[in-house]
Amino acid sequence: MDFLNQFTSHSSVRSFERKDLPEELKMQLLQAAQSGSSSNFVQAYSIIEIRDPDKRHEIEQIANGMGHVENTGVFYLFVADLNRNYQIARETTQDLKAITSMESLIVSIIDTTIAAQNMAVFAESQGLGICYIGGIRNDLDRISEMLELPAYTFPLYGLTIGYPKNKNEVKPRLFAEEILKIDRYQEADPVVIAEYDQRMNHYYQQRSRNTRCTDWSQRVQAHYHTLRRPEVFDFLVKQGFDFPMKEQ
């Protein structure tokens, strides 16, 4: 399959064979993840492979999964990790504002996500299926306790990777003309969004599983109807991050 074709064929897989990935393939997945760019080369992330079946079971419950955390070839948890760099930096400075700042957290989230997506794309190139699991953030305190996460870390999402049992249809993306803006920002064009909604309505009604009568705008409206996970801020503060209203 050519490279672009691989990207445009992506769909998240939520049903896997009960078969572990060989160690060599897991090492390659890690290599792919670690080869991504890293802002100022801080490499501010860690990847925790969850092997313990009890932990996987509990994470599955936390994420309201439907079996795909427990029954997957491998399950990784991606952690934005400034603890490693904190340990190194504190040898020469007591002022750690630069570690605990919003900017550092954003950089760390970007690094982590580049690594995760590199891993995901490589996995798909090997015929494997993947699904991100943001549902791990449904209980940050428990995840943090279970994985013994220290200060200056934040668990972002899990990634299931395995041999797909079945694959969903590809979900049509927003039209490129909506995403790409030339030379300046342009607000969303309601006509283009309405056309996309029609397309998505068709997709939701026609797909082979979990059909529903909705469109993309309705999904967006429902999503932003309620504030999600308001406890994230307090969790970050507990983890040692510091967001003064005005950086000193």
Tokens at 23, concatenated: 């160690």
Q: Among residues 63, 120, 128, 161, which is the contact residue for ligand FMN, using CB under 6 A?
A: 63
Q: Which amino acid does the sequence have at 67?
A: G
Residue 218 as a binder of ligand FMN (CB under 6 A): the answer is: no
CB of 136 to ligand FMN, least distance (A): 7
Reference 78, options 186, 193, 164, 156; nearest CA is 156
Q: Nearer Cβ to ligand FMN, position 44 or 124?
A: 124
Residue 171 as a binder of ligand FMN (CB under 6 A): the answer is: yes
Residue 117 as a binder of ligand FMN (CB under 6 A): the answer is: no
Residue 14 as a binder of ligand FMN (CB under 6 A): the answer is: yes
What does the longest C-alpha to C-alpha distance in the chain come to? 60
Rounded Cα distance between 184 and 43, Å, is 32
Per CB under 6 A, the segment of 36-44, 130-138, 221-229, 240-248 that binds ligand FMN is: 130-138
Reference 21, options 72, 66, 63; nearest CA is 72
Rounded Cα distance between 116 and 119, Å, is 5
Site string for ligand FMN, 22-61 (x = CB under 6 A): ----------------------------------------
* Positions that interact with ligand FMN (CB under 6 A): 10-12, 14, 63, 131-135, 157, 168, 171
